[in-house]
Structure 1
Amino acid sequence: MKRSLSFFARRSSLLLSAGAVLALGACSSSAPLFLSDGRPTVLVQCPAGSSSCSEQASANCNGAYDVVRQSTDGGTLSLIYACRAAAR
């Protein structure tokens, strides 16, 4: 069975388009979730056992943040935090 060059070109184009859509989908971000008091939360991930997650939270919140949830899965620490409200 002979296939024309245009058949393969269309098929390659379709595969490239599908790959681009999948790649862009992996880069999407979602809107932040908010606590009941209105503060936005932030998710950071880092290697388990390192202090980089807490360092990121501290730097982002000028040292004052609350841990909402943290978990470790497969050597990765996921930390969800919210910056504390500024003192008045």
Structure 2
Amino acid sequence: MRATRWVRGASLAAVVAMTGGLAACSSAPPLFSKDGRPTTLVQCPAGSDNCEQQAQAMCGGTFDTLRVTTDNGVRSLLYACRTK
């Protein structure tokens, strides 16, 4: 009886985890730019240049902005580092 409860609980946990994983995949930005460079999404408060500062620091210099959105006071920047 105990083993059956454990299996049911584990099965439910697995289903919940897989559902959450699928939900995350549906709204994720593309992993690569059109020319094959990896992309990164950063978020910062709307009205600040913190997103650009983060991108510049991560790229060690220049980057290409692929998409910028603002929602509920949060600015999202999708970028790809330029090749050196």
TM exceeding 0.5:
yes
> RMSD across aligned C-alpha pairs, in angstroms?
3.2
Bigger helix fraction: 2
- 1:77 is displaced (CA, Å) by 0.4
Aligned to 2:3: none
Alignment partner of 1:45 is 2:43:
yes
Identical counterparts, % of pairs: 46
Partner of 2:7: none
CA 1:84/1:22 → structure 2, altered by over 3 Å: closer, same or farther?
same
Runs of 4+ in 1 over 6 A off after TM superposition: 13-23, 26-31
Contact 1:35 1:41 in 2 (8 A): no
CA contact (8 A) 2:67 2:78 kept: yes
Using the alignment, how far apart are the partners of 2:16 and 2:43 within structure 1? 26
**TM-score, length of structure 2 as denominator length:** 0.63
Aligned with 1:77 (options 58, 75, 81) = 75
Tell me by how many angstroms 1:33 deviates: 2.7
Gaps of 5+ in 1: 1-12
TM-score of the aligned structures, taking structure 1 as reference length: 0.61
TM alignment of 1:1-88, pairs within 5 A: 25=21, 32-36=31-35, 38-86=36-84
